[in-house]
Homo-oligomer: A and B are copies of this chain.
Amino acid sequence: MKVILPAKTRGGVQQMARGLCQIMGREISKGNVNTNIRQMTPRGTLQLPWSSINSVRTIAVLPWPFSFQPRDFSLPNSSWGSDMRRLYEHYNSQCEVETDDGEKKWGVWRRLPSYNRSLKYATGGVYLSKIIQSKARLFTRNIREQGAGFEYVVFVNKQEQKCVCVFQAGHLLEGPPGHVHGGAIATMIDTVTGTHATYLSGPVMTANLNINYRSPISLGSTVLLTCSLDKKEGRKTFVSCQVTNTDSSKLHTEATGLFLSITMGHLLGG
């Protein structure tokens, strides 16, 4: 189950890592993770085939990044300001609801976990060691200092085919003096529209982004990215996105994204 990239595929494979991460996220949140994916998560005990037990024993005594404790970057941290926390709570409180007889069930929103490594190989043993050795980090999660770069959390609402991202822009994302770089805004738009397309259509890759910058975003401020499905046509998923202030009264940026579906075969080399 090794991932083989279709390197010559026209249209790029911009969303492959995202697709796979979101697959992980969905499986974990539903509690039906398969054995291979469970090896990569911090929840519960590692469940590995006997053949790889020895190597895991060796790895287990090493510090992070060898400890299998990936950090979920979408959870609150001390750098989050009041706007970021308030909006997180607003959506997070709607992720799980209590029924009249006291049972808990899924709400309309779902928080997506977010890690800083892509899942190159989903099996253990030799492939697992390749992930551990890789220095590569997801672009939006590559800064260690909390609050300095992209602080964001994505919630999806499959019922309404809608997706929101609460994004707090750190001081290392500067473009115009005191304001967020246009490329950093494009990065968040690519990330969130792609996540939404993946959630609705399965693994996709970005084919086009068309971005209109309306008004600048101050460094340190929190904004809301709201994505909705425009249409689906065969392999194509069209998503639109608006970046606004937290009460949606001011439009900062608007964009459309076109995504092409790729098969799980492409993604997992099956």
Contact = CB atoms under 8 A, between A and B. Distances in A.
Interface of A: 3, 5, 7-18, 20, 118-120, 134-140, 142-143, 149, 171-184, 186-191, 194, 205-216, 218-219, 252-253
Contact of A119 (B177, B188, B207, B212): B177
Given A190-B182, A207-B212, A209-B186, A136 B174 contact: yes
A171 B11 contact: no
Contacts of A14: 175-176, 179, 181-182, 213, 216
Nearest to A19: B176
Q: Which 5 A-B pairs have the closest CB atoms?
A: A183-B187, A16-B176, A139-B181, A186-B186, A14-B182
B137 A171 contact: yes
A215 B176 contact: no
A190 B183 contact: yes
Given A118-B177, A184-B187, A215-B9, A171 B136 contact: yes
Copy count, this protein chain: 2
Contact of A143 (B142, B178, B214): B142
A137 B17 CA distance: 27
Nearest to A135: B171
Nearest to A181: B139
A208 B211 contact: yes
Nearest to A119: B177
Contact of A207 (B120, B184, B210, B213): B213
Given A208-B212, A213-B208, A214-B10, A5 B186 contact: no
A236 to B, nearest CB: 14
Given A15-B176, A174-B17, A179-B13, A215 B139 contact: no
Contacts of A214: 10-12
A5 B179 contact: yes
A205 B209 contact: no
Given A178-B5, A182-B12, A186-B190, A173 B215 contact: no
A175 B18 contact: yes
A137 B174 CA distance: 6
